[in-house]
Each structure stands twice: as C-alpha cells, then as structure tokens.
Chains A and B, each alone.
Chain A
Amino acid sequence: MTHDAGEPPIIELRDFRYTYLEGTPRASEAIRDVSFGIRHGERVGIVGPTQSGKSTVVDAFAHLLRLKPGQVFYKGEDVAAPGYDRSALRREIGIVFQQPDSQLIEDVVGADVAFGPTAAGLPAGETRRRVEESLNALNLSYPEYRLRYVHALSGGQRRRVAIAGVLAMHTPVLVLDEPMAGLDPRGRRELLELLIRLQSDRDLTLVVCSASLSDASLLCDRFVVLDGGRTVMDGPVREVLREADRLAELDITLPETVNVVRELQELFPDLPADILAEDELEVELLKRLGAA
C-alpha cells in the first residue's frame, strides 16, 4: 500500500443515505447507511450483489445525484455545499460507467477521446498527444481508429474507447463500474494489466466496482462490501476473503482459487483461507503433501 494510515481520505462518505425520486410515490431507497473513506493511492474494490448500491455510490463520488450536504466529501470539502465547483470535481474524478454507450459523446473515436481535454481547455497539441497516448494504451491504434465511427464499433471496442476518453483527462482518481463486463478473457487480462500499470505510473487512486471478486482481487488491495445499501465488510482483500462463506451468501462471485481452497479445506483443515494466487496455493499444498 502506498499510503500511510494517518493521511486524511481523498474521498469520504459519511453516513451516506440516498433515495431516488425522494418525496414522490415512486421513491426507491438505494443507500441506507454507507460510510468509508478512500485514501490517495489506494486501490479499492467496491463489491456487492446487484441492487446493493454500488453504482449509486459511484455517482455520488462525482456529485451526479441530488446530494444533501454533509454526506460526500472530496479532499475534505463537502461536494454538496452551496457554491462548490462541481466541474472541477468532475475533472478530478474520472468515471467509466457500466454501459459504455452512455458516456460516448462524439460520433468519431478521436473526437470523443478528445472531448474531455478540450472541455478542460487544453491546447490542441497537448489534446492530440493525450488522445494518441490513451488510444494506444488500450490497444486501439491511433491512426487506425482515430476516424472510425463510435457506433459502428463492437461492444468491447466501445468500452475501450470509453475508458480512453476518461484516461485522456488524466484524473487523479479513476473509478470503473463493472469494467470487465462484456470483455473476452484476453480483453480482461489486457485491461487488468493496463490498470495495474497506470496505477503505478500515474500514482492513481483506483476504485473498481464489481459483483465478482475474481478480477477485483487481482487489482485491489482493499474491499468494501455492500449489501442492501449498507456497508457490511471493509478491510484488506485477504481479510475480507477469509470470510468466504459470508461472501458466498451475498451472491458475490469468489475468485476461482478461493473456491478451490474452500474445497481443499475438507482435506486440509489447516489450509489458510486467504490464498489469492495459484502459486501460493501450490506452495501451501506442497508443504502439506511433503509432510504427509
């Protein structure tokens, strides 16, 4: 972990509650009580089953909801306070949404990726450089894809364009909502590697939302588990994974290795429950087999 515990959180939710269409007959309560803070440089996974409130929490980070004051803070400032500069906040927090189509603004790939930097008032040369850099980072070669129509691309390509559009803004915080959905195994692996690289290169604060722990466990060092609009667990990845039974109860997909370990525990009751990678499992198994 790259942060020290005494540092104040960059993003903080305090007793966060949210009801969509509050005060109307169609009101629906999405968040009942969520409190947690994210420090600079942390890699946090927000996990939970569907309808647990993950996407609402993401929207709250960039003040995309009708927030009440005193609940959501960025760098210690209340984002819902009157006069708070929301545009500046949104230039700091980049969000990749679940459906990539919703956040594509321009018709052509190059123009879409350039949208953020242009809106932020960057000079044309710098914008062009960022577009090229972001597209290349996502394996969409700049000369080939620059002039392609966004809506003629495949779902996986559109997702990558959406991610490139957010990367080009060079935000210190990057939030991805179900980034692996709709990607094939190769696309997943590439995205995973890219995110890990970016996080260390750019000193990013990374937040990943997912209903599956398999991708998130390789990317994050801390999990916040939501259920029914409440925080039910919050801690380092291994600590959370130790309560695998509770996670399985919540309908959260566990990493394959954790499932294997759970089965193997019937044979080796002393096998630690917080094994993440296959290599670790091999070492632990060899130890026990050697002993036998």
Chain B
Amino acid sequence: MLELQRNVIFGQFVDTGSPIHKMDARIKLIATFVFIVASFLIDSFLGFALVLPLLALIQLISRVPAGYVLRGSRFFLGFLVFILFFQVLFYPGEVPESSYLWRWGFLSISTTGLYTAGILGLRVIFLYYVTTMLMLTTSLVDLTNGLELIFGPLQRIRVPVNELVLVFVIAIKFVPIFIGEVERLARAQTARGVPFDEGGAFKRARRLGRLLVPIFISGFARADLLTTAMNTRSYRGGRYRTKLRQLHSTATDWLMLLLVVAWMLAAWQLPDRLLS
C-alpha cells in the first residue's frame, strides 16, 4: 500500500531506448489496433497460445523487465479473477445437461461456463497487455502526435480530433498521478493512525474508502489548475501548432506491422483449419 506504484503500472512510461521505443508511434498505434481487433476475433485457447510467443518477443525486445510488468498487473489480475468467478457462477448461456459439474438453484459451475470465462479472461488480459505495453514504450508526446496524425483526416468532417486526443491522453496520464496521490494520502493517514500497511485485504480495502473524498477534491483541483495553466499559455488545438518532433516511419516499422498482422491472421484462422 505504501508503494502502490509497484502494483499499478497502467499509464506509465519506462524509457529503455529499445527498438520498440524508437518505432514510429503511428505504427505502434495501428499495431495495437490490430491486436485489439484480433483479441475479439480469436476465440480458442489454441489461438491465444499462438499469440503468446509474439507477446513474449515484444516483451523481450522492449527490454522492460517482465517481472515489473507482472507485479504491476497484480491488482488488475486479482480484479479479473474476482469478476470471472461470478461470470462462471452466474453463466447465463445455454448449457447442455452433461456439462454441469455443480448446481445449486441458479448458481452453477459448468464446463461451458468455465470455457467461456477462460476465453473471456484471456481476451481481457491480451487487451490489457497490449495497451499497457503501448504506454510503457511510447512517450506522452509521441502518443499524442501519433493519435492526432492518424485521426487528423476526420477534422475535415468537423470531428474535434485535437480536443478528443487531448482528453484521452490526459485521462490516461492521470492514472499514474492518481496512484501517486493515493500513495501520498495513505502515507500521511498511516502517520495519523490509520494503518494502511496492516490487516487483511478486506480491512485494507475498507480503509481506502477514507481516501475517496480527498482524492476527488485533489482531482478537481488538479483539473482546475491544468485548465488555468493551459489558458494562461493560450493553448489552442493542434491545427495552429507546429511540432518540434516529427514522426518518421522506417521500412523496419512497416515490416513489424506486417509481422503483427500476419501473426494475428494466423492465430485467428489456423486453429479452425487445424481442427477441421
């Protein structure tokens, strides 16, 4: 609790200077999009097993320590297991009589339910992993520029792209700030006799309730401050701004993207072909 930043790494940027960090942000964003689409199309354990080596490869090349990412996903994974437990117990789909393992009123555990929950869990983990890796390897500036360039053409039909991207990026980057804030509050309240570093999981979770009001207040104060800061510096949307950092895509970047697309196609299609 006193070092919460270890357990929640969503939205953080860790610069290791790896080839993935140096990739064009636009290509990384498109690749992430491909991953997201693939996560919805793949619907077998074999398919996800095929994805795994590529993710391991990305992890290796990025030089972000795997242990750091795993430990930083602890809260998220714990929450996921909690949700999936209910998904299995209240499985609403059609279940053949033979697949029931246990039944009590409307609660049940069935192989069909377990299978669906398993696939769902893998899908969410996959989604979480690729978005986390995108943020771990892409700086805020690159992320903003990349998104603005990709969605730029939509401005012709009066979509406020710059504003939307700005809101999205601020929202994501607020997560680490928020975590730091919770940590600071927890530390100060521990000093006053709320022992955040003791007791079981339930007790600790209940103490978190005490942080809600100050967290909201500081959140609003921060938003207010940001607005004032942007106004005093005459912030206007990107159309009027020039950029110091230009994005450049290389042949390697495109090859990487091609690899991702091909790999995802294979993970989607191969299991069916192999099994039929």
Contacts and interface: CB of A to CB of B under 8 A. Distances in A.
B6 A97 contact: no
Interface residues of A, number: 33
Contacts of B16: 25
Contacts of A273: none
A64 B187 CA distance: 6
B252 interface: no
Interface in B2-27: 2-3, 5-6, 12, 14, 16
A68 to B, nearest CB: 14
Contacts of B185: 102
B191 A25 contact: no
Contacts of A66: 2-3
B214 A101 contact: yes
Nearest to B184: A102
Contacts of A103: 188-189, 191-192
Interface residues of B, number: 28
A26 interface: yes
Given A25-B64, A101-B218, A151-B217, A65 B2 contact: yes
Contacts of A65: 2
Contact of B210 (A64, A90, A105): A105
Q: Is the interface of A mostly helix, strand, loop or mixed?
A: mixed
A163 interface: no
Interface in A54-77: 59, 62, 64-66
Contacts of B198: 86-87
Contacts of B195: 86-87, 90
Interface in A1-56: 20-21, 24-26
27 contacts: A21-B3, A21-B5, A21-B6, A25-B65, A26-B14, A59-B187, A64-B191, A66-B3, A86-B195, A86-B197, A87-B193, A87-B198, A90-B193, A93-B191, A95-B188, A95-B191, A97-B188, A99-B184, A99-B188, A101-B214, A102-B184, A103-B191, A103-B192, A105-B194, A120-B193, A169-B192, A169-B193
Given A65-B2, A102-B184, A119-B192, 20 more contacts: A24-B65, A25-B16, A26-B5, A26-B14, A62-B191, A64-B187, A64-B190, A64-B191, A90-B190, A90-B191, A102-B185, A103-B188, A103-B189, A105-B194, A107-B213, A119-B193, A119-B194, A151-B213, A169-B192, A169-B193
